[in-house]
Amino acid sequence: MKPETKLNQSNPFLPEPARIVRAYNLTQDVRFFQVRLVDMEKALSFRYRPGQFAMISVLGAGEAPFSISSTPSRPGLLEFCIRKVGTVTNALFRLRENSLIGLRGPYGNGFPIEAMEGKDVLIVVGGLGAAPLRSVLLYCLDNRDQFGRVIVLYGAKRPAEMIFREEYFDLKKRVDLECHLAVDADDTGTWTENIGVVTTLFPKVKDINPANTYALVCGPPVMYKFVIKELVKLNIPKHQILMTLERRMKCGVGKCGHCAIDYIYTCLDGPVFTYWDVLHMRELI
């Protein structure tokens, strides 16, 4: 992986103009945004790692952190899956295609792609956790020969809330990927996959080679404890269980204090943490 490049190195608080080139709803309250930096050179040279995030500005409404859902293996466009929950996201949802926004980043540590190369990758997704994990999943698929088994377990509340549902059903057809889907409840009557929380998918995962497996987890806070239990049962080493966690953030550069946990800053040292970190740092989840 090429090293990341940061926008506006001298004053990162200045956002770089970017254009929403495509936006459509994934679910009732989650919208997909394709964004391109206005400066073509910067758009093409912008480098990031799967698992990193960017700060998006809607001038007048403010700024908030969002994990990047696209993969650096497809440069040029950046993609985000954003849930409408606060001031900035409400303003974002009002913007049409071709609107200008501000972008700065990339921030955070991202996934240790180099260490994961040659290993099996088990991705466990809950709900909107699909946003950051999509980046690493697409990266693995774009560089399929560099990874061992790729397994995806994805749980959502209801079929309509499963973001990129069609993409995942397509993935199920691939022979080089194991993809298992679940919903907590089926209100459509047409759901053909598992019903239950994401942990009910674990029995479908066979013959894991734990020492050779990286498990990547992202979902709502309540999910971690149950998923980690399953991963530990599979004997996956603690430092190979990776979680990408959420935190309120303002600056992205380790100054403002909002995302401070213990002696670390989520925006610098996270948002990707190992289970080992979680055991040693309280308040992490």
Partner 1 sequence: MMEKTILKSSFPQWIKSLQSFKVFIPKRENFGWELSSNNQILEIASDYTYPVVPPKKLIFPQEEIFFEFEQNPDNGIELKEVLPEESPQVIFGVRPCDGRAVEAMDLVFGGSFEDLYYWRRRRQTTLVGLACHQPPSENCFCLSVEGSPYSEDGLDILLTDLGDRYFVKALTEKGEKLLSEAPSLFKEITPKDREEKERVHLEAQGKIKRHLNGARELPEKIKAIFDSNFWDEESSNCLRCGICTYLCPTCHCFDINDETKSLAPLRGRRIRTWDTCQFPDFTMHSSGHNPRPDRASRLRQRLAHKFLYFILLYDRFQCVGCGRCISLCPVGIDIIEVLTRARNHGK
List of residues contacting partner 1 (CB under 8 A):
10-15, 17, 57, 59-64, 83, 85-86, 89, 100, 102, 220-221, 246-248, 250-251, 253-258, 260-263, 268, 282-285
Q: Which of 253, 255, 235, 247 is nearest to 272 (CA)?
A: 247
**Beta bridge pairs of residue 31:** 25, 82
**Nearer CB in complex with partner 1: 11/192:** 11
- Least CB distance from residue 30 to partner 1, whole Å? 12
Separation of alpha carbons 244 and 123, rounded Å: 11
- State which residue, 68 or 245, has the beta carbon closest to partner 1: 245
Task: Pick the closer one to partner 1 by CB: 61 or 141.
Answer: 61
The residue (of 89 and 135) whose beta carbon lies closer to partner 1 is: 89
Residue 221 CB, nearest approach to partner 1 (Å): 5
3-state secondary structure of 126: strand
CA dihedral 42, 106, 67, 139 (to 10 degrees): 70
CB 205 within 8 A of CB 151: yes
Nearer to partner 1 by C-beta: 246 or 277?
246
User: Which of 25, 284, 15, 260 shows the shortest CA–CA distance to 164?
Assistant: 25
Q: How far is the CB of 250 from partner 1 (least distance, A)?
A: 5
Minimum gap (Å) between residue 61 Cβ and partner 1: 6
- Minimal distance in Å, beta carbon 189 to partner 1? 29
Other C-beta atoms closer than 10 Å to the C-beta of 203 total 10
Q: Are 17 and 39 in contact (CB under 8 A)?
A: yes
Closer CB to partner 1, 21 or 141, in the complex: 21
Q: Considering the complex, state which of residue 98 and residue 212 has its C-beta at the smaller distance from partner 1.
A: 98
CB atoms within 10 A of CB 147: 19
The nearest distance, CB 272 to partner 1, in angstroms, is 17
Residue 60: CB minimum distance to partner 1, A:
5
